[in-house]
Chains A and B, each alone.
Chain A
């Protein structure tokens, strides 16, 4: 195995940004996601009940943005490793996501660093994705760490 995974050339990919795209959030997609994760909270499932909530409508559960198809940017980094693990996520919440919202999704390579662990030499890649609604309000920021070895 090479003694360095994160070369200077790889490091130059920090800051790389995906082409923004817009996705319309369907009510059914929110409900399907809530059902898949097994969360019966009425604000994620039941429009009638959710009308009485302070949002006045259904909203998306905390990790719903996972389903919006953010560009992972990992191919573009080109580490040349074969295995990948999901290391974790950090989410920040601002405005709720509601059915009918048109969400602009942009991802950016926030960090690439090398580490040594029980898997040997690894690269830790942090991709930050922002989700912004049709009014220009930030809804969610997600920072996802993937482990490459």
Chain B
């Protein structure tokens, strides 16, 4: 696991990228996710079924890609930060066996109701550079001022 030091509100600049997260989903992970989430739609583990539905093969659960972006943000928030909001849209499909990189960029920072709020645009990028999953997230970070 990649650990980075706790980010504080003062460390963060609008426009800067947050630490990225590399994920390598496999068909085995899709089966594990189906079991853990209870989403047994066959397009995620039955290749014949997926092909019969006009898909190029089994595809990654949108919700698993959502989870990857959740991990990106809880890693960024760190032990002292808090994830407040996470929104994702699925614009295209991704298949297992391909590296996905979760990335984010700070779009806004503000002190709201005494809290140090940081907003990010977030996305998953495949090896072709396609951004098939995009979204936004809001975290509250600790401040060095205490």
Contacts and interface: CB of A to CB of B under 8 A. Distances in A.
Nearest to B36: A36
A139 B82 CA distance: 13
A35 B1 CA distance: 13
B74 to A, nearest CB: 6
A34 to B, nearest CB: 9
B90 interface: yes
Interface string A31-66: 011011111110100000000011000000111001
B37 A36 contact: yes
Interface string B9-32: 000000000000001010001001
A41 B36 contact: no
A61 B85 contact: no
A36 B79 contact: no
A78 interface: no
Contacts of B39: 66
Nearest to B63: A66
Interface in A2-57: 29, 32-33, 35-41, 43, 53-54
B82 A61 contact: no
B71 interface: yes
Interface in B43-73: 61-64, 66-68, 70-71, 73
Majority SS at the chain A contact face: mixed
Given A62-B70, A63-B66, A87 B89 contact: yes
A91 B85 contact: yes
Nearest to A40: B1
Place the interface of chain A in its size category. Answer: 20 to 34
B85 A90 contact: yes
Contacts of A40: 1
Contacts of B110: none
Nearest to B34: A36
A92 B85 contact: yes
Contact of A41 (B35, B66, B74, B87): B74
Contacts of B66: 63, 66, 88-89
B89 A66 contact: no
A38 B29 contact: yes
A93 B84 contact: yes
Contacts of A62: 67, 70-71, 73-74, 83, 86
